[in-house]
C-alpha cells in the first residue's frame, strides 16, 4: 500500500509515491483521505479477472419507464444502466478518472493520464491521453472537457450548478491539457475529485443539436459501451465497443466483459419479478424483503437450480432512506409536529410483519460508518455545536439520537399519548375525533408515491395517524408527474433515498443547505433552512483530516436527526441478488463499495449451454 504524503497546504491528497514530494507534483491517482491502494505500475484492480472472456449478453430490468436518453437535465425521466441503484453514466461516457471500488474514495487516471493540483488549492490540471476517442472515432480533446463543464454547469440539471459552483473556469491549455480553476477562498478539498469523475461529452456533436432538450436520439459517447438501440419507454440496448481505446489500461483490464447489456423496463414490480422467473431477463437485485423471503423458493426455476441467489456484503456508507416531511408547509414547519409523526410510525411492527425481520432501523444520516453520532457529543463536536446552542434542541448536546422503539405488537398507546402531547404543544388538539388547529381545521397530510407496492408499508402508518384524528391519505401517480411535483416541492410527505458518498462533501449542500431549499429540482427535499446545518456542512467540506471530517459529520448527524426533518426508515448492509446460472466471476471477493456485476462478471458460454440444455428437458 502506497502512503500518501502531502504538505499541509495541499487540500487533497493525491500522490502515490513512496517518498515525500514537492507541492504540485503530478500523480496518477486521487484520494481525499488516506492511502492509494494501487501503485503507479498496477496492472489491474484486484476484484477483476484480467483474462476474463468477452462476449454474450446480460439482460437487466428497471422499473416504470423513460422518456429521454439525455441524463444530464432536470427535465425528463432518463434511461440509464443500473437505474435500480441510481444509474451509472460511465458505461457510455468516459471520465477523466475512474473509481476503484475496493477503496472508499480513490480514483485513477482514465481519459487523464496524470493530474496535478496547485499547492495553494486554486486549480487542478489534467493531462489527457491523445489516443482517447469518441464512438465516432473523433479525438477527445481539452475543448470537449471544457465544453462539458460549461454545458453541465450552465444548462444541465441544477445539481451540477451546485456541485461546481466553486469551479470558476475550465481553461484549455493545449489540445490535451485542461485546467479547472477554483474560486479564491472556496472550500476546494473535493473539487478535484468532482471534476475528475465528470462524464465527458463531445463539443462537435452539439453543433447541430441542442444540449438542453430531452431526446430519444443517443448522445455521442466515449465509454466502453455505446447505446445502439432505443425502444422508447421500453428497452435500451448497449453494445461493447470493440477495440475500445481504454480496454488495455489498468483501470479497464478485466472489466466490462459483456458484449451486450440490455435494460428492459417494467411498469409493475410484480410483473417484473414474474418476468425474471420466466427467463425474460438475467439478473436482479431484490429490494423487496417480502419477495426475497417468500417468492423465490417455490418457483420451478429456483427449485431446479436454474436461478441462483446470493447475499453480497456491502461496506458502503449506507444511504439515507426516509419519509421526508416538507417543512416549507404546515404542519411540518413545527419541529414538535415532525417529532410526533415519527412517534406514530411503528417500525418494529413493520419489520416483523412486512419485512420478515430482514432490515435494521436507520438511526443516522451516516449509518454503517464511523461518522454516525454515538453517545454524547465529544468535546470537538461541542466546539462546533455550542455557537448555535440557542437555536438547537437541547438533546443535541446531551444524548445520542435513537428512533422511537415499540414492542412490535402494534399497540403504540404510549407513543400515541406522547405524540398527542406534542401536537397540543404545536397548537393541534382533538375535537370530535379530529385533530384540529385553533381555526378548527383538521390536519390533512398526503403521502405522494409513484408506485403501488409501497402502499402496504404506508397504510399501517396512515391508520396510526387516523387514530389521532389526522386525515391522512396515500396518492399514487405516474412517475413523471411525481417527479414534477417533487421538483416543485409540491408535496406533504414523500419517500426518497439518498446514496451517501464514502467521503461526504459538497453534495451535502444540495441535500441540506439553506441555499438549496428553494432551488427547483434541488435535493433539499425537506426544505432544511438551519444556520447550524449550513455551518456544519461547510465544516465537512473544509475538513483536511479524517478526524476533522468525522467530527463535523457526527455533529451534523445530531442536528439533522434531533430536528426530525425526516422519519428514518431501514437499511441492510448487503445486496440480495438473483441471477440465471450462466455467468462467471473472479475468484477474488466482491469489492466492498459496489456490487460490481457489470464490471467484473462475464458470460460463461459453457454454463449457458448447460442451462439451455437443462431447460429444454
pLDDT in tens, 44-55: 999 999 999 999
Lowest mean pLDDT among 351-355, 542-546, 565-569: 542-546
Confidence band, pLDDT 50/70/90 cuts, at residue 34: low
Exposed / middle / buried, residue 300 (Cβ in 10 Å: 0-12, 13-18, 19+): exposed
Examine the pLDDT at 569 and tell me if it is beyond 50.
yes
Examine the pLDDT at 20 and tell me if it is beyond 60.
no
Examine the pLDDT at 140 and tell me if it is beyond 90.
yes
Examine the pLDDT at 480 and tell me if it is beyond 90.
no
Structure-derived torsion over alpha carbons of residues 579, 585, 587, 592, reported in degrees to the nearest 10? -70
Task: Kindly report the average pLDDT of the chain as a whole number.
Answer: 93
Average pLDDT of the segment spanning 396-421? 96
Assigned fold of 320-571: Dipeptide-binding Protein; domain 3 (3.10.105)
Examine the pLDDT at 1 and tell me if it is beyond 90.
no
> What does residue 161 show for φ and ψ, rounded to 5 degrees?
-60, -40
The yes-or-no answer to whether 225-315+573-616 and 320-571 have a common fold is: no
More confident residue, 500 or 108: 108
Which residues contact residue 487 at a Cβ distance below 8 angstroms, ignoring those fewer than 6 apart?
74, 520, 521
Q: Are 392 and 385 in contact (CB under 8 A)?
A: yes
Distances from the Cα of 93 to the Cα of 111, 133, 151, 279, 512, angstroms: 11, 11, 15, 30, 29
pLDDT of residue 558: 98
pLDDT digits (tens, 9 = 90+) for 265-296: 999 899 999 999 999 999 999 998 889 999 99
pLDDT of residue 13: 38
Average pLDDT of the segment spanning 396-423? 97
Examine the pLDDT at 7 and tell me if it is beyond 60.
no
More confident residue, 291 or 34: 291
Examine the pLDDT at 186 and tell me if it is beyond 50.
yes
Angle (CA) 371 96 10, round 5°: 55
> What does residue 417 show for φ and ψ, rounded to 5 degrees?
-60, -40
Examine the pLDDT at 523 and tell me if it is beyond 70.
yes
Q: Are 69 and 230 in contact (CB under 8 A)?
A: yes
> What does residue 117 show for φ and ψ, rounded to 5 degrees?
-115, 135
Average pLDDT of the segment spanning 16-39? 69
Examine the pLDDT at 9 and tell me if it is beyond 60.
no
Confidence band, pLDDT 50/70/90 cuts, at residue 317: confident
Distances from the Cα of 541 to the Cα of 4, 98, 159, 498, angstroms: 20, 21, 16, 18
Average pLDDT of the segment spanning 140-160? 96
Average pLDDT of the segment spanning 595-611? 96
pLDDT of residue 23: 53
E strands, 23-130, where? 26-27, 29-30, 57-63, 97-99, 107-109, 112-117, 123-128
Q: Are 94 and 246 in contact (CB under 8 A)?
A: yes
- What's the CA gap between 222 and 217, in Å, rounded? 16
CATH superfamily of 225-315+573-616: Periplasmic binding protein-like II (3.40.190.10)
Which residues contact residue 517 at a Cβ distance below 8 angstroms, ignoring those fewer than 6 apart?
328, 524, 527, 528, 529
Residues in the chain: 617
pLDDT digits (tens, 9 = 90+) for 209-223: 999 999 999 999 999
- What's the CA gap between 456 and 354, in Å, rounded? 8
pLDDT of residue 499: 84
* H or E element in which residue 178 lies: strand 177-182
**Residue spans per domain, the chain:** 225-315+573-616, 320-571
* H or E element in which residue 261 lies: strand 260-266
Amino acid at each position: 500500500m502506497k502512503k500518501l504524503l502531502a504538505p499541509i497546504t495541499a487540500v487533497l491528497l493525491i500522490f502515490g509515491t513512496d517518498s515525500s514530494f514537492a507541492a504540485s507534483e503530478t500523480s496518477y491517482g486521487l484520494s481525499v483521505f488516506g492511502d492509494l491502494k494501487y501503485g503507479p505500475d498496477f496492472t489491474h484492480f484486484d476484484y477483476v479477472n484480467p483474462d476474463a472472456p468477452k462476449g454474450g449478453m446480460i439482460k437487466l430490468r428497471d422499473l416504470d419507464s423513460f422518456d429521454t436518453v439525455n441524463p444530464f437535465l432536470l427535465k425528463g425521466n432518463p434511461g440509464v444502466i443500473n437505474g435500480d441503484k441510481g444509474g451509472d453514466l460511465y458505461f457510455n461516457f468516459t471520465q477523466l478518472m475512474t473509481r476503484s471500488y475496493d477503496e472508499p474514495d480513490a480514483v485513477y487516471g482514465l481519459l487523464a493520464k496524470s493530474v496535478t493540483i496547485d499547492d495553494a488549492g486554486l486549480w487542478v490540471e489534467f493531462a489527457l491521453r491523445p489516443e482517447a476517442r469518441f464512438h465516432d472515432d473523433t479525438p477527445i480533446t481539452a475543448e470537449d472537457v471544457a465544453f462539458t463543464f460549461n454545458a453541465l454547469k450552465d444548462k444541465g440539471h441544477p445539481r451540477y450548478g451546485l456541485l461546481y459552483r466553486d469551479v470558476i473556469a475550465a481553461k484549455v491549455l493545449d489540445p490535451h491539457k485542461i485546467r479547472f480553476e477554483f474560486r479564491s477562498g472556496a472550500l476546494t478539498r473535493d473539487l478535484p475529485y468532482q471534476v475528475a469523475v465528470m462524464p465527458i461529452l463531445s463539443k462537435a456533436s452539439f453543433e447541430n443539436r441542442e444540449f438542453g432538450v430531452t431526446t430519444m436520439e443517443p448522445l455521442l459517447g466515449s465509454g466502453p459501451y455505446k447505446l445502439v438501440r432505443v425502444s422508447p419507454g421500453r428497452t435500451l440496448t448497449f453494445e461493447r465497443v470493440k477495440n475500445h481505446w481504454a480496454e488495455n489500461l489498468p483501470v479497464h483490464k478485466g472489466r466490462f466483459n459483456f458484449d451486450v447489456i440490455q435494460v428492459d423496463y417494467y411498469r409493475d414490480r410484480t410483473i417484473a419479478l414474474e418476468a425474471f422467473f420466466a427467463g425474460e431477463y438475467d439478473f436482479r437485485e431484490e429490494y423487496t424483503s417480502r419477495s426475497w423471503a417468500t417468492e423465490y423458493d417455490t418457483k420451478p426455476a429456483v427449485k431446479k437450480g436454474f436461478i441462483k441467489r446470493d447475499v453480497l456484503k456491502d461496506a458502503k456508507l449506507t444511504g439515507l432512506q426516509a419519509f421526508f416531511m416538507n417543512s416549507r408547509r404546515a404542519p411540518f414547519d413545527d419541529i414538535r409536529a415532525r417529532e410526533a409523526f415519527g412517534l406514530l410510525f411503528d417500525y418494529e411492527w413493520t419489520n416483523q410483519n412486512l419485512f420478515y425481520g430482514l432490515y435494521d432501523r436507520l438511526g443516522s444520516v451516516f449509518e454503517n460508518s464511523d461518522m454516525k453520532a454515538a453517545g454524547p457529543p465529544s468535546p470537538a463536536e461541542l466546539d462546533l455545536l455550542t455557537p448555535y446552542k440557542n437555536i438547537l434542541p437541547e438533546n443535541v448536546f446531551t444524548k445520542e439520537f435513537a428512533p422511537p422503539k415499540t414492542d412490535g405488537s402494534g399497540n403504540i398507546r404510549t407513543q400515541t399519548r406522547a405524540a398527542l402531547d406534542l401536537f397540543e404543544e404545536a397548537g393541534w388538539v382533538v375535537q370530535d375525533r379530529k385533530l384540529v388547529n385553533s381555526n378548527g381545521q383538521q390536519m390533512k397530510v398526503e403521502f405522494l408515491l409513484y408506485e403501488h407496492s409501497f402502499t402496504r408499508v404506508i397504510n399501517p402508518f396512515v391508520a396510526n395517524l387516523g387514530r389521532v384524528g389526522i386525515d391522512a391519505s396515500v396518492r399514487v401517480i405516474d412517475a413523471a408527474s411525481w417527479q414534477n411535483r417533487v421538483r416543485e416541492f409540491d408535496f406533504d410527505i414523500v419517500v426518497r433515498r439518498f446514496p451517501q458518498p464514502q467521503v461526504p462533501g459538497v453534495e451535502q449542500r444540495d441535500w441540506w443547505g439553506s441555499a438549496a431549499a428553494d432551488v427547483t429540482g434541488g435535493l433539499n427535499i425537506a426544505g432544511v433552512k438551519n444556520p447550524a446545518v449550513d455551518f456544519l456542512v461547510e465544516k465537512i467540506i473544509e475538513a483536511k483530516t479524517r478526524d476533522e471530517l468525522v467530527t463535523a459529520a457526527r455533529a451534523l448527524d445530531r442536528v439533522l436527526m434531533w430536528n426530525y426533518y425526516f422519519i428514518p426508515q431501514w437499511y441492510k448492509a448487503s445486496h440480495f441478488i438473483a441471477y440465471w446460472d450462466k455467468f462467471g466471476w473472479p475468484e477474488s471477493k466482491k469489492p466492498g463499495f459496489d456490487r460490481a456485476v457489470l464490471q467484473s462478471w462475464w458470460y460463461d458460454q459453457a454454463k449457458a449451454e448447460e442451462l439451455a440444455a437443462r431447460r429444454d428437458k
